[in-house]
Structure 1
């Protein structure tokens, strides 16, 4: 469903953003800029520092990324590496199966490097943590 919506937006000349993509992929119903997701999740969704498949990784706003960013965890590789799917990391595109490495001093996912091209990791990005979708039953 998330990829179908992206294709429709691109066909209509609309911009693809990380927030609607993450919301559709994860089922986490938060609205507003990515930089506000962590705070908005506080009383509605469980939050934490451990990656989990289906969770949304909440990136902090930075000077180069003033609206923040959100990505959905699709796989756990090791305790310090995950795979994410996200939109608009590369302008107006969906990026599937991109690696993310925890490079934080205390191994707590507060600082990461994201695979910008296959096998090539970019600069350091601060992370708030992970927002976990509500699971019924």
Structure 2
């Protein structure tokens, strides 16, 4: 009887730990890990390096397309850079993105606004939704551009989605 109780308790602990693991894993989720999981762009290294690592492997450009990865530069305030996946193109200067580790460590955000605030309209300066203030971030972040998965560049339907 005691053995059966220990087995039941052990089984309950295992089940509870399975439910707890996703939260613990998400608490440490970085933007590059998340972007690799939800996009077809498979690069390694810090987010600041993705733009360079994509050269010769993926098409790159300044036009947002669904499924593309927006690559942010490394800066003093964001030394490792950042990457986010385009979820929807609203118009040429507004997109919705999915990303992790922006508003809070490990936090995944889906369908949040990113706005091109660059003078040239080339997505080199971007303001991104920041959950703690429930508004766009106060300062623009420097971006390199969009890395297109092979399926995005091959699809005429996705190319058309960039028009607002």
Length-normalised TM-score, structure 2: 0.74
* Unaligned ranges ≥5, structure 2: 1-19, 156-164
Aligned mate of 1:58, from 50, 71, 76: 71
Aligned mate of 1:125, from 141, 151, 154: 141
Alpha-carbon separation, structure 2, partners of 1:60 and 1:45? 18
* Structure (1 or 2) with the greater helix fraction: 2
Q: In structure 2, do the counterparts of structure 1 residues 105 and 93 end up closer, same or farther at CA, with 3 Å as the change threshold?
A: same
1:114 paired residue number: 128
* Deviation digits for residues 90-122 of structure 1 (CA, Å, limit 9, x no counterpart): 211101111001000011111010011385111
2:150 paired residue number: 134
Aligned mate of 1:100, from 114, 120, 143: 114
Count how many residue pairs are aligned between Structure 1 and Structure 2: 131
Alpha-carbon separation, structure 1, partners of 2:63 and 2:23? 33
2:60 paired residue number: 47
Alpha-carbon separation, structure 2, partners of 1:13 and 1:95? 11
Runs of 4+ in 1 over 2 A off after TM superposition: 7-14
Contact 1:9/1:16 (<8 A) preserved: no
CA RMSD across the alignment: 1.9
1:69 paired residue number: 82
What is the SS of the residue equivalent to 1:101? strand
Alpha-carbon separation, structure 1, partners of 2:48 and 2:30? 13
Residue 52 (structure 2) pairs with residue 36 (structure 1): no
* Structure (1 or 2) with the greater strand fraction: 1
Length-normalised TM-score, structure 1: 0.88
1:3 paired residue number: none
Contact 1:18/1:87 (<8 A) preserved: yes
**Shift in Å at residue 134 of structure 1?**
1.2
**Shift in Å at residue 18 of structure 1?**
0.3
Alpha-carbon separation, structure 1, partners of 2:89 and 2:25? 34
